[in-house]
Structure 1
Amino acid sequence: MCLRILFSTIFLSFVTCLNAQEKPATAAPSTPGQADRGDENSKPKFVLSDDVREVLEPLFKSIADADVSRATVELSSDSVLAGQVVESKTSTYQIASRHPNKFTIYLKEPEQRTRIYEDGEKMTVALAPDAYYTIDESIRLQEAVMNLPLPMGPYPEPVLALTLAGVDPSLTFLGGMKKVEIVDRNKFRGRVAAIHLRGEQNDAVTWDFWVTQEDVPKPLRLLFDLTAMLRATGQVRVPQGFAYQLQFDFLSWRVTGEVEESLFAFKPAADAKEYESLEDYMDSIAGAVTEHPLLGKPAPDFKSVTLREGTVSLADLKDKVVVIDFWATWCPPCVAAIPVIKEVTDEYKDKDVVFLALNVAEGEELVKDFVDEKEWDLDIVLDVDGKVSDAFKADAIPQTVVIGKSGIIESVHLGFAGEKELKQRLGDELSVLSIGGRIESSVPEESK
């Protein structure tokens, strides 16, 4: 379920969902410099130069030989247009581990905090301060780099490979590479003696990596540019001059010393609820009326083009009930929800109910081909630049916004709760709104 996938822009959300499909290249040998040869008759795909090996081998060996680790890493995800940062989000990782199978990964994001605890016997995932679930199987640290039970930020595997004790970073960094080279040996931020490396992966991702100039180097910064990969997939239309970058700054990092055993033990809060699984938790919140910032407020006006070369604006739909569903082709719950929403809204067509399926930040040709393949009889509203979804603060998809005849946002559906529940709830809402009524949850407390 792609319930919570938009951090702030569609590009970041796409990368997050992509984590479940395309991981950074693996299957590289543990010795830096030796290529993955496949069968004995194939030619090496990649060979590490001696000067790069001299830089990476001590760092990778110190991690692989470590019994413990502690690190704090700051992540900046930047959307850049024409050389200017147009949007930036900052998150923080706090990671600790003890080889072979104890770790904690704490991700602090602007709107959410998620933590994974592995105590060597079971894994606990704290999805929120009052919600968690337990997996009664232990996983080793090397497996954790690639196979966590949920995405911990966009493209997390490289930072985990550098911060979990006893893992082999070369499996993440050197498999599927086109090249790795030394760029310069200038001081990092003008202060720290450093070596700057650059790598290009077969999947079009490029990275820059700064490490200290020491006998045993330490990571300083890891910068990923995912723009070319986004273009190569063909699943989103990347504007000219746009770039999407992830910058990991290692604020603290060590693979020696002591690590408290208590870091790996989960202690739930008194009011915390245990769920059976991630899906169980998602199902519990899917379709619920959310604390959406626009609930009970006038819907922002917009004007946008449609797939059939028309235009639509909210002003043109005055005195009608408008159901806007924010969706994308790569989001399975979105695709499942649209036919259900159309079926329900069609029942109220003659009562001034309008359904707008608004595609978020995908190209016209891609959307047209997808709609034709699905044989949907819908004139899709296009939001290529994401401005409409931003105006409606649609920070998660699928998301359905129901606007009453007065222009007030009466309800917000988050996620896809299933066909039966969605039909029931949306039908109940439209039966009230179509005759000019209000929904209780959208009425300000002082007015009730």
Structure 2
Amino acid sequence: MKKSLIAILLAAFLIGVSILTINNFNFSNSNTDSSVNNTSNKSISSNGNTSTESTKISPNAIKTKAIDFKLKDLNGQEISLSDLKGKKVFLNFWATWCPPCKAEMPEIEKLYQETKDSNLVIVAIEIGEPLDTVKQFIDNNKYNFKILLDPDQSVATKYNISSIPTSYFIDAEGNIVSKHVGGMNIDQMKAYIKTLDK
């Protein structure tokens, strides 16, 4: 009886430490991976989006080559990142079950509507869910930007995705210029996109 009680207490302690460690890791990643330096106070709106009066973006000091991949869209057509060379790419990793991802999607759609005739391509990679689930979510919300499926999460693994949403901003030469972990509003997205012209 005593041994089983000690084992239960030890297991509970280890689970608690593991949860704390994971939370600290995700918190520190979201702080260190983000390249956003806010010059004004943030306020959280009721829909969970962060709004700022002005946002200053610091691009990566050293550009890194974006890893190429090939995934299928909702119609089964294969698309690779290398197909988009010569265009600026806003690459977003998300899932239908993720509340910050869902809060960010209308902002991405607004950006898409404003930029659909430009040199910017928005690519949202859905991680790990079946086609039917993703297609229904996209159709119900009438989103029009490009959705790709990463059913085995192989591309998410290549891009070291530890929390979602995570976004990469890739220039016309295929270099990652900036990365943002967490949800964004349209002003933040536009500030990141401006760094692709430098």
Shared fold (TM-score, shorter chain, > 0.5): yes
1:369 corresponds to: 136
Preserved contact between residue 308 and residue 379 of structure 1 (Cα < 8 Å): no
Partner in structure 1 of residue 44 of structure 2: none
On the 8 A contact 1:338/1:357 being kept in 2, the answer is no
Q: Which protein has the bigger strand share?
A: 1
Match of 1:15 in 2: none
Cα distance in 2 for residues equivalent to 1:71 and 1:371:
41
Alignment match, 2:166: 399
> In 2 relative to 1, CA 392–298 (structure 1 residues): closer, same or farther, beyond 3 Å?
same
> 1:108 — aligned with what?
21
What is the aligned-residue identity percentage? 29
1:88-237 mapped onto 2 (5 Å cutoff): 93=17, 107-109=20-22, 112=24
Partner of 1:299: 66
What residue number does 1:427 align with? Answer: 190
Q: Secondary structure at the match of 1:357?
A: strand
- Answering whether residue 104 of structure 2 is matched by residue 337 of structure 1, we say yes
Larger radius of gyration: 1
Task: Give the superposition deviation at 1:343.
Answer: 1.7
Q: State the match for 1:318 in structure 2.
A: 85
* Structure with more relative contact order (C-alpha pairs < 8 Å, separation 6 or more): 2
With normalisation by structure 2, the TM-score equals: 0.71
CA distance in structure 1 between the aligned counterparts of 2:106 and 2:180, rounded to whole angstroms: 15
Q: Tell me the SS of whatever aligns to 2:65.
A: coil
Q: 1:307 to 1:59 in 2, by over 3 A?
A: same
Q: Which amino acid aligns with 1:427?
A: K
Partner of 1:16: none
Residue 240 of structure 1 is matched in structure 2 by none
Higher helix share: 2
Cα distance in 1 for residues equivalent to 2:105 and 2:132: 19
CA offset digits 1:235-270 (Å, max 9, x no partner): xxxxxxxxxxxxxxxxxxxxxxxxxxxxxxxxxxxx
Q: Secondary structure at the match of 1:356?
A: strand
What is aligned with 1:199?
none
Separation in 1, partners of 2:72, 2:115: 24
| Cα distance in structure 2, aligned partners of 1:423 and 1:107 | 32
- Cα deviation, residue 362, structure 1: 0.7
**CA distance in structure 2 between the partners assigned to 1:297 and 1:288 by the alignment:** 21
Runs of 4+ in 1 over 4 A off after TM superposition: 69-75, 287-292
Alpha-carbon distance, 1:290 to partner: 9.6
CA distance in 2, matches of 1:395, 1:291: 21
- TM-score in terms of structure 1 length: 0.34
Deviations 1:407-431 (A, max 9, x none): 11111121114xxxx2222213324
Q: Closer, same or farther in 2 for the Cα pair 1:415/1:300, shift >3 Å?
A: same
| C-alpha spacing 1:336/1:307, structure 2 compared with 1 (3 Å) | same
Aligned length: 175
Whether contact under 8 Å (2:59, 2:178) holds in the other structure is: no
* AA in 1 matched with 2:136: D
Letter in 2 for 1:428: A
Asked whether the equivalents of residues 290 and 412 of structure 1 are also in contact (C-alpha less than 8 Å), the reply is no
Structure 2 residues not aligned, in runs of 5+? 32-48
Pairing partner for 2:179 from 406, 412, 417: 412
Offset at 1:360?
A: 0.4
Structure 2 distance, partners of 1:391, 1:375, is 29
1:309 to 76, 95, 98: 76
Q: Secondary structure at the match of 2:125?
A: strand
Cα offset, 1:398, TM superposition: 0.8
The runs of 5 or more residues in structure 1 that have no matched partner are 1-54, 64-68, 76-91, 95-105, 115-126, 132-281, 439-448
**Cα pair 2:57 2:191 within 8 Å, conserved:** no
